[in-house]
Structure 1
Amino acid sequence: MKELSYFRETRKDSTLLYDGKVLHVYKDTINLPNGKTGMREYCRHGGAVAVVPLTREGKVVCVRQYRYALGRVTLEIPAGKLDHPGEDHTEAALRELHEETGYRTPALTPIGELATSPAILTEIIYMYLAENLEPGETDPDDDEFLELVEIPLEELVGMILAGEIQDSKTQAAVLKVYLMKQREQEAGR
């Protein structure tokens, strides 16, 4: 295995190209490991959370919504950005679960972190499993228009494998939960 220094790139200078509400676009000049100079363009993002709400009946509570950047309706698990730097990830996940689905849970199980596009984006999505769900009223943001859809976990996995779900966080989180549940069943035999 190669040493970390073989891969390391260091920033020589950085230029902020765009300073938005959610994204900050940079163009950096970097020193490459071979001694040459290179350039990297990337976006800084404060991070996000995603939740796989799994009902007692084994269904995943998904949200159907229009995604402007894609120009179409998508089917996804509940998710949202961290509201401020340093926000507790678990609290953010509980908030998003309630806002988008109305459900509450006494506890979340962390299932991993997802770097959505590590070549050009600093965003990390903190993923959770929510079980023992208690229903309630949704409280979406003013700019969110959502439809709740409950899909059996195994059926949702089939949709992912068939290419019907393109959202990366939904794919990663749902497949992780499916494998976790499979292992739990195997261990119980």
Structure 2
Amino acid sequence: MTTIRDTAEQWEVRATATPFVGNKTSVRTDEVVMPDGEVVHRDYQVHPGSVAVLALDDQDRVLILKQYRHPVHMKLWEIPAGLLDIPGENPLHAAQRELYEEAHVKAEDWRVLTDVYTTPGGCSEAVRIFLARDLAEAEGERFEVEHEEADMELARVPLGDLVSGVLAGDLHNNCLVVGVLSLVAARSVEGGIDGLRPAEAPWPARPFEA
């Protein structure tokens, strides 16, 4: 049986330019040689990558937060997430940091839920979504938030309610949608959650130090 798997490939780039450099991301224009020999321009956002955490408590509730997202002019319910700000940073460590900073929560059990490219046609962002369980309140002072995060709402919502919200078109954040549906799928296959990859599993899209 043929294995269905994404594969790495690099088409020839004749020239490249970076017309815009922002605080965390940039825009790149490449001249790419197509299979028929034609050279075309491809513009895309260069992104450092992200991590997200689907934190599940012992009552089968997911920890979510509501945050304003200016590009879409909406407040979205999301799962904790953040950028991989440091090149080569261990994504598990970044995820643990984000869960602490955004929700003041720690978790004892971590697994990789899924890896995704958010918008592969126009952005290089890769996201690793973790499943975190055995939750507890974090020790020490809360992280001091600012900007959009200063207006965040926190909630714990039953997993089934989130599935219904996704399918009804009421919830739109990609990490929440992918994370929630991936967890439901994981529970339905042989091996269940115990069959998920370990938290330190390799991530070819964003190689990291152990």
TM-score > 0.5, shorter chain as reference: yes
The yes-or-no answer on 1:124 pairing with 2:131 is: no
Change (3 A) 1:140 1:83: farther
Change (3 A) 1:109 1:185: closer
Gaps of 5+ in 2: 194-210
Quick check: 1:100–1:140 contact (8 Å CA) kept in 2? no
Q: What's the RMSD between the two structures over aligned residues?
A: 2.2
Tell me which residue corresponds to 1:57: 59
The yes-or-no answer on 1:164 pairing with 2:170 is: yes
Change (3 A) 1:130 1:184: farther
Tell me which residue corresponds to 2:208: none
1-structure distance, mates of 2:47, 2:122: 10
Instruction: Output the TM-score relative to the length of structure 1.
Output: 0.90
Residue by residue over 1:114-171, the C-alpha shift from the partner in whole angstroms, topping out at 9 and shown as x without a partner, is 1000011000011100000011364253221211111100110000000011111110
Summarize the alignment of residues 129-148 of structure 1 with structure 2, pairs less than 5 Å apart. Answer: 129-136=131-138, 138-139=142-143, 141-143=145-147, 144-145=149-150, 146-148=152-154
Shift of 1:185: 9.7
Shift of 1:183: 4.0
Residue by residue over 1:84-114, the C-alpha shift from the partner in whole angstroms, topping out at 9 and shown as x without a partner, is 1111100000000111111101231111211
Summarize the alignment of residues 1-189 of structure 1 with structure 2, pairs less than 5 Å apart. Answer: 9-136=11-138, 138-139=142-143, 141-143=145-147, 144-145=149-150, 146-183=152-189
Letter in 1 for 2:119: S
1-structure distance, mates of 2:63, 2:107: 13
Tell me which residue corresponds to 2:199: none
Residue by residue over 1:22-51, the C-alpha shift from the partner in whole angstroms, topping out at 9 and shown as x without a partner, is 111011111111111111000100000000
How many percent of aligned residue pairs carry the same amino acid? Answer: 30
Instruction: Output the TM-score relative to the length of structure 2.
Output: 0.81
2-structure distance, mates of 1:109, 1:185: 14
Deviation above 6 Å: which 4+ runs of structure 1?
184-187
2-structure distance, mates of 1:95, 1:186: 27
Change (3 A) 1:46 1:8: closer
2-structure distance, mates of 1:124, 1:47: 5
Aligned length: 183
Letter in 2 for 1:149: A
2-structure distance, mates of 1:42, 1:35: 21
Task: Look up the SS of the partner of 1:134 in the other structure.
Answer: strand
Gaps of 5+ in 1: none
